[in-house]
Structures are given as structure tokens and as C-alpha cells.
């Protein structure tokens, strides 16, 4: 249970829960169109950020359709829509205007990615050996890198309109 708490604090579990509640059950067929883009933060490419495109589903579709992507070292991303684990992701996003959420979580101040990874590996080993992780061995949570106005679905004012046959290449310049 302690490990689950660590996963939840690091942002992975909330994102997965949001995805699961958003997409509902598989079996729905959607038409998607390629959607790509670039994210810059304070004038520089933003690497290792998660991009979510959220749109309300139409009749016969999940209530919310979620497209997701991850930025590379140049801040570039490609959106994929996940509906059915057996068929894999669809390359693109459904047409329409999407609310866009951009998030990035980093190690706590004074800690490197390598140090955090080492602590997570130790925590996993303890969990496997003992079944529970004592409080002093729980890995600290990652912290938000971006301001809440980009990461919080209720605060984000970012949007992207995916058009059938359109270029659908978006640039987000965050400050």
C-alpha cells in the first residue's frame, strides 16, 4: 500500500485514473486525424511533458475522449487516442475543439532524476521483500514543473481544434 501511495503522489496514478474514467469501455469506433505539435516553455522546447487533448464524446462514444502525447527533447509531440487495450492506440485525435492540458513532474528540489530512480528502485525492492515500505523508505513525490494554469484541467485555457484533412500541427508557447 505504501508503494501505491508513492505512485499516486508522483502523478502517474491520477493520470491513469483520469484516462480510465474518460475512455470507458472499448469497442467504440472513432475516426481520428493525425495531431502533432511543439511545446515551448519560456522560449525553450519543453521535454518530457505529457500533453492531453480532451473532448466531449458524441452519441455512441465515451463521454470524454482523451488523446495523449509526450514531448521529446525538441518539445515535439504526437497525439494518440487510446480506446481499446487489445487494438492499441489510434494515431491521432478525434475532430473538434479539445481542451489541452500540459503537465510535467520533476524530482523534488535538490534531487536528480538518477537519485529519484535509485530511491524508487530501492522502494520497489523493499516492497517485494517485505510487502510493505516503512515511511522512512518511501520515495518523495515528484513536484509540478509548470504553473497550475497549464496542468490543471479546470484551469487550463489552452485549446486545439482538430480538423478532418487539416494540418493539425499545434504550437503551445507557455510562459
pLDDT, tens digit, for every residue of 43-57?
999 999 999 999 875
Ramachandran class of 86: left when φ > 0, alpha when ψ lies in -120 to 50, beta otherwise? alpha
Give the DSSP H or E segment for 122. helix 113-130
Average pLDDT, the chain: 83
What is the second-level CATH architecture of the domain 2-24+32-174? Sandwich (2.60)
Give the DSSP H or E segment for 125. helix 113-130
The predicted structure's pLDDT at residue 58? 62
C-alpha closest to that of 106 among 49, 23, 51, 67: 49
Exposure string for 97-129, b = 16+ CB within 10 A, e = fewer: ebbbbbbbbebeeeeeeeebeebbeebeebbee
| Mean pLDDT, range 28-47, rounded to an integer | 91
Nearest-angstrom CA–CA distance, 66 and 32: 11
Does pLDDT of 109 surpass 70? yes
Nearest-angstrom CA–CA distance, 96 and 160: 8
Does pLDDT of 11 surpass 60? no
| Mean pLDDT, range 70-84, rounded to an integer | 92
The predicted structure's pLDDT at residue 173? 97
The model's pTM: 0.74
Amino acid at each position: 500500500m505504501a508503494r501505491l501511495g508513492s505512485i499516486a503522489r508522483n502523478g502517474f496514478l491520477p493520470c491513469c485514473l483520469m484516462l480510465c474514467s474518460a475512455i470507458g469501455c472499448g469497442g467504440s469506433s472513432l475516426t481520428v486525424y493525425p495531431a502533432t505539435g511543439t511545446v515551448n516553455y519560456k522560449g525553450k522546447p519543453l521535454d518530457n511533458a505529457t500533453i492531453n487533448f480532451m473532448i466531449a464524446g458524441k452519441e455512441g462514444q465515451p463521454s470524454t475522449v482523451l488523446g495523449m502525447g509526450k514531448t521529446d527533447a525538441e518539445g515535439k509531440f504526437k497525439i494518440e487516442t487510446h480506446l481499446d487495450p487489445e487494438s492499441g492506440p489510434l494515431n491521432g485525435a478525434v475532430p473538434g475543439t479539445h481542451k489541452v492540458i500540459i503537465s510535467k513532474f520533476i524530482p523534488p528540489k535538490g534531487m536528480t532524476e538518477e537519485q529519484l530512480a535509485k530511491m524508487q528502485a530501492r522502494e520497489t525492492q523493499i516492497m517485494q521483500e517485505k510487502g510493505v515500505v516503512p515511511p522512512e523508505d518511501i520515495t518523495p513525490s515528484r513536484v509540478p514543473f509548470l504553473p497550475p494554469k497549464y496542468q490543471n484541467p479546470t484551469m487550463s485555457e489552452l485549446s486545439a481544434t482538430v480538423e478532418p484533412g487539416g494540418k493539425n500541427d499545434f504550437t503551445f508557447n507557455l510562459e
